[in-house]
Structure 1
Amino acid sequence: MIKWGDSRRDHDPILAIWPSYRPLHERWFMVELVETEDGGVRWRDRRIPSEEGWVRMDVHPDREAAVSAAEALNPSLAAALAARQMDATEKTSLTLKVRKALQSRQRLADEEALMLSEAIRRHADTPRIPIDQIKLHTEAEPYREALAQELQTYPYLWMALLDGRGRQVVLYRNADDVWSKPYPAGEKSAEKAMRARIANGFKFHHDQHWGQVKAKIRAELLPRANQLLQLASVQRLLAEALARGEHVLVSNGIVFWYEPDGQLGWTVKATTSDKGEDGSTLWREGTILSTNHGRLVVLPYVKESGEQVRGHTKNGPGDGRAKPRHPDHFVEIPFRELKGDLMIGLFGELPYE
């Protein structure tokens, strides 16, 4: 065992922390953001001293405890960076990198939670197979009850991570709906099984490239967002936003956009990304200048040089040129970001009601 303080990394200044779920261990492991020698930043597993003075991992039993710990510590870490004696330009750049890293983690968490919620919703009426009718390899028989419980929530799975006999295993379903013998789970297979809860729900295979799968899911979710405009509760939310003078609401890559010109009213657009093309950080207090009727919204962002770039609208690849607005109809609009959990609620049961 290693005593706390014996390793050089124990003395590195920490820039931020964030919880990361490790399905193999069924725990939330904290990761910490540190500066690299070339002026960049990177995430690594967080180590802290134990009560006896040894080194241990920073682990939490549930998401709520982990998020609370991160939210409690990150402001003081940001204050420590702000008070650090260093070149002003380098400090600005480092501060933006920290903000970008946290935004990226939060965006991914919100986005995947939204996708999981929608996957479950889509299969609400999918028949659940009675426990005694689940087809299993004989070696998987001890996991019948655990698998049945998993399929109650995720009846569409082709890969399942199960806990039994004190170890995690994965099972696979074949084309004949027979579940395989159990295989000992590793870090990668456990992570893939968690992704299967989303991918399989949208009829994608869990072995497909995760980034490409999520891009296709985002495209599928946009028509679903358009359906939300028909719900009375969403209409109420948007009406109240409009009464406050808010014309653009953003959440998880989806934009509710109010278009008074031409009596269009509220429409749905998509965001291009959570960062600028050069990896810059979103500027949350920025505005969007719309000079055309493009279907994509590029949100304001800050370059690592500190330059603030105003948001704009455009079309995507293959869309053709966006229809221009008349100069008299150019609009510069502030935007407000909805909390991710609100957007998740809008796709399922509406907490707004």
Structure 2
Amino acid sequence: MLKWSELKRVSDVVLAVWPHYRPRFERWMMQELIDKGEFAPIWRGRMVPGENDRVLADHYPDRETAIAAANALNPTLQQALAARAIDPVIKRSLTLKVDKALQARQRLQDEEALMLAEALRRHADDERPDAAALKLVPDSERYRQELAEQLAKMPYLKVAKFGRTGNIWRYVLLYLGPDGVWSKPYPAGEKAAQTAERAKIANGFNLSASSHWGKTKSKIRQILLPRANQLLQLASVQRMLAEALARGERVLVSNGIVFWYEPDGGVGWLVKETSSTGESEGATIWKEGTIVSTNHGRLVVLPYVKENGEHVRGHTKNGPNDGRALPRHPNHYVEIPFHLYDGDLMIGLFGELPYE
């Protein structure tokens, strides 16, 4: 058995940590970002020492506990990086890479949490099937009750995962066929378990969990945008925006949604989306930066910092199929600071919207 004292990785420099959900094990596994010198930092599974020099995976039962653990450790790791006796240029570049890596993980999880919450809300009033009424092939009969329990929570599911026994993970997947009959059980490895996890989101929007995940989420964003526009009708949102405007805040960003105050023509508050350019994709957000708007584009590219430390201001634009964005008169060009809010804000606001 491998011992902690024998691990070579103990001497590696850890730059940051952040949890990653592993559907196959139904656990949030902590990952650590490792300094690789002249190469880019890499994420890997985090190990911790156990009793009697054992090596244990650093895992948590839920997202909240895992994130709390990461947030408790990361400031110490940031201080350690700041104290390192290395070239200041290299240190600055490394700090930006750490920020970029953490922001990418956080934004991804915040967005998927919003999508899951919306999938559940869309089907909150759906009829829940009775266990006896479910149609299963004979080989899947043993999963009838468990399937009914899953469908009681997510009646829209078309892929379901079963089979943990004690501390041993031996999972199988059932698929709902076009004839309304649940399939025979298929062994579930890492990829299949991930498909079942994605089904909790995708199936809620009547999309496939096995399609390209990036394209699927893009479709969900388009489905959610009309809902985001409805937020402007909520009294709580109107109050929040009025208070923000009183503080001089005209662009508020949370979970890919932008509340944008447009003074020209008495338009007032609008909803836009965040977007990116090839260069800004996954870059570190420059929170102190500004957005220079020379047009009325519906997409907002947030200010960002290149890995060489260069600061790039944000801008507005249209999507690839929108046509050219209506330009502003040069006298009406605006440079606006923006305010970034926690992703949970948008989840809470969406929760206030009723479904027809």
CA distance in 1, matches of 2:164, 2:31: 28
**SS at 2:179 equivalent:** coil
2:153 match: 153
1:134-187 deviation per Cα after TM superposition (whole angstroms, max 9, x unaligned):
111222222112111111121111101124554432111101111112223211
Q: Which letter does structure 2 place at the counterpart of 1:171?
A: L
Mapping of 1:130-169 within 5 angstroms? Answer: 130-163=130-163, 165-166=165-166, 167-169=170-172
2:316 match: 313
1:84-132 deviation per Cα after TM superposition (whole angstroms, max 9, x unaligned):
1111111111100100000000001100000111111111222211121
1:330 match: 333
Distance change in 2, residues 1:47/1:80 (3 Å) = same
Higher mean alpha-carbon deviation, 262-271 vs 276-285, is at 276-285
CA distance in 2, matches of 1:276, 1:125: 43
TM-fit CA distance, 1:274: 9.4
CA contact (8 A) 2:21 2:29 kept: yes
1:75 match: 75
1:240-299 deviation per Cα after TM superposition (whole angstroms, max 9, x unaligned):
211221111101111010111111111011111498436531111111111111111110
CA distance in 1, matches of 2:65, 2:163: 22
1:240 match: 243
Mapping of 1:177-326 within 5 angstroms? Answer: 177-273=180-276, 276-277=279-280, 279-326=282-329
Distance change in 2, residues 1:274/1:230 (3 Å) = farther
Runs of 5+ in structure 1 lacking a partner?
A: none
Distance change in 2, residues 1:141/1:250 (3 Å) = same
Q: Which letter does structure 1 place at the counterpart of 2:141?
A: E
CA contact (8 A) 1:146 1:164 kept: no
2:121 match: 121
Higher mean alpha-carbon deviation, 76-85 vs 145-154, is at 145-154
TM-score w.r.t. the length of structure 1 is: 0.95
1:111 match: 111
CA distance in 2, matches of 1:144, 1:284: 50
Aligned residues: 350
TM-fit CA distance, 1:49: 1.1
1:175 match: 178
**SS at 1:136 equivalent:** coil
**SS at 1:28 equivalent:** strand
CA distance in 2, matches of 1:247, 1:150: 43
CA distance in 1, matches of 2:233, 2:222: 19
Q: Please give the root-mean-square deviation of Cα atoms over the aligned residues, in Å.
A: 1.7
CA distance in 1, matches of 2:352, 2:163: 30
1:2-42 deviation per Cα after TM superposition (whole angstroms, max 9, x unaligned):
12132322210100011111122121111100122433111
**SS at 1:241 equivalent:** helix
CA contact (8 A) 1:39 1:94 kept: no
CA distance in 1, matches of 2:281, 2:301: 13
CA distance in 1, matches of 2:38, 2:126: 52
Whether 2:3 is the aligned partner of 1:3: answer yes
CA contact (8 A) 1:248 1:258 kept: yes
**SS at 1:222 equivalent:** helix
TM-fit CA distance, 1:71: 0.7
**SS at 2:280 equivalent:** coil
Higher mean alpha-carbon deviation, 50-59 vs 90-99, is at 50-59
1:189-238 deviation per Cα after TM superposition (whole angstroms, max 9, x unaligned):
11110001111111111110011111111122111101111122221221
2:41 match: 41
Whether 2:90 is the aligned partner of 1:86: answer no
CA contact (8 A) 2:280 2:304 kept: no
CA contact (8 A) 1:15 1:32 kept: yes
Which runs of at least 4 in structure 1 moved beyond 3 Å after TM superposition?
163-167, 273-279
**SS at 2:4 equivalent:** coil
TM-fit CA distance, 1:318: 2.3
CA distance in 2, matches of 1:78, 1:275: 28
Identity %, equivalent residues: 63
CA contact (8 A) 2:104 2:282 kept: no
